[in-house]
Amino acid sequence: MKLFLLLLLWPALVSSTPTLAECGAEARRPKLDDIAVECGTTSINLAIQICPVVYTGYNESQLVMNNILSSACGATLDISVFPPVARFSFPLNSTNACGSNFRYTSSPGTGVFADFSNIQNVNISGIIRGADPTKGTITYNAELKYYYSCAYPLEYLVNNTQIDVSGSSVSINDKNGTFLSTLKLKLFSDSAYTTPFLIPQTGIELRKIIYAEVSAINLTTQYHVLLDRCYASISALPANSSFFNLFVPCSKDKSTTIVSNGVSQSAKFYFPAFRFIEQQNENVSTYYLHCITRLCEKNTCDTFKQCATSRRRREINELDPDSVYTLTSPEIITKPSLPVQSAQTSATNNNQNSSVGLGVAVGVLACICVIGLIVGAVFYKKLRN
């Protein structure tokens, strides 16, 4: 019976708030770096050192996120690490993010984004406060606050400054996150986008259809994938390289077909294989596909697909790979319209045939001249006799 009661009480004993004696040197006033923030692709995770919380007069159950009293938004004590921490986790969804504030900012694009008038970032922030358990007119517990913030570029940041309030214990942690790791660019050989596109070293035939897809994997469902621009370049790093636009905002090449864009967490299009003219003397033409990708909220994607009459025309003189996040495909290799070696051989044969014909003509003309001289000599001799 005692063993049974001990097993029932074991979780409570393991997860109990540490005492000041157990905290040792960690029993101190809170510092600015007592909160750690992980800006994930589907959720934001927070970890607050619990010993400074205990020192200030609170425990993990009295840490309240954005004034929301809910078990889903409460802290979980983790004493498997040292110093022990109180952990919070909430999804990247504005409807159930435990009261976190979603703030979108927009600014005109620069550099390679010069033709985009609305480049967005989202900043997700909030505050965790200590709920003072003291009842009465006065308290001996300091006010306890933990600020957190995550900034995500939606076309791949907003840095926040630290705040210190006199007379309070304040910790701030601002982080920048990225969704780039969730985005993948893949090539397929069929319209169902199921069979990977395999490119032999000898190249693929010109005009063969290439199906391309940019998809988001393990991304919060709040955002859809919208391709702003896809282009091909001779270099995998397209700085100072020849390029060809498959489509840009409000315009596309007539041979490119967009299947879906900005309506789900994948965007699809296809185009026929082509060659770069400057590679005409090479056996194969090799180039890479790049896509500049925007992540937009599901309800706002349509606004980025509208073409205003005052929108600036694209003028790109140079592509800077360090100024923008792009997705790049494996190399695409196309065959020449005629084998280079065969064309050279054909030209050589034509030259040889021309030389032979010219020699025969000269020989025939020489024979006629000789015969004419002989006939003339015979007639001249008869006339003298």
Residues 237-257 have pLDDT tens digits of 766 678 889 988 888 889 999
In the predicted structure, residue 334 carries a pLDDT above the cut 60:
yes
pLDDT digits (tens, 9 = 90+) for 257-272: 999 999 999 999 999 9
What confidence tier does 3 reach under pLDDT thresholds 50, 70, 90? very low
In the predicted structure, residue 353 carries a pLDDT above the cut 60:
no
In the predicted structure, residue 331 carries a pLDDT above the cut 50:
yes
Residues 6+ apart with CB under 8 A from 146: 34, 35, 46, 48, 63, 127, 128, 129, 170, 171, 172, 173
Cβ neighbour number for residue 128 with a 10 Å cutoff: 23
* Distance from C-alpha of 191 to C-alpha of 211, rounded to nearest angstrom: 7
pLDDT digits (tens, 9 = 90+) for 70-109: 888 999 999 898 889 999 999 888 788 899 998 888 766 6
* Distance from C-alpha of 293 to C-alpha of 325, rounded to nearest angstrom: 8
Mean pLDDT within 259-286: 87
- Please, are residues 90 and 73 in contact by the beta-carbon 8 Å criterion? yes
What are the start and end residues of each CATH 2.60.40.4100 domain in the chain?
A: 181-334
Could you give the angle at the alpha carbon of 275 between the alpha carbons of 271 and 281, nearest 5°?
A: 170
| Class at the top of the CATH hierarchy for domain 14-178 | mainly beta
- Please, are residues 129 and 144 in contact by the beta-carbon 8 Å criterion? yes
pLDDT digits (tens, 9 = 90+) for 24-54: 888 888 888 889 999 888 889 999 999 999 8
* Distance from C-alpha of 290 to C-alpha of 286, rounded to nearest angstrom: 14
Superfamily of domain 181-334, CATH level 4: Zona pellucida, ZP-C domain (2.60.40.4100)
**pTM (global) more than 0.85:** no
Beta bridge partners of 149: 125, 174
In the predicted structure, residue 162 carries a pLDDT above the cut 50:
no
Whole-number pLDDT of residue 340 = 43
What are the start and end residues of each CATH 2.60.40.3210 domain in the chain?
A: 14-178
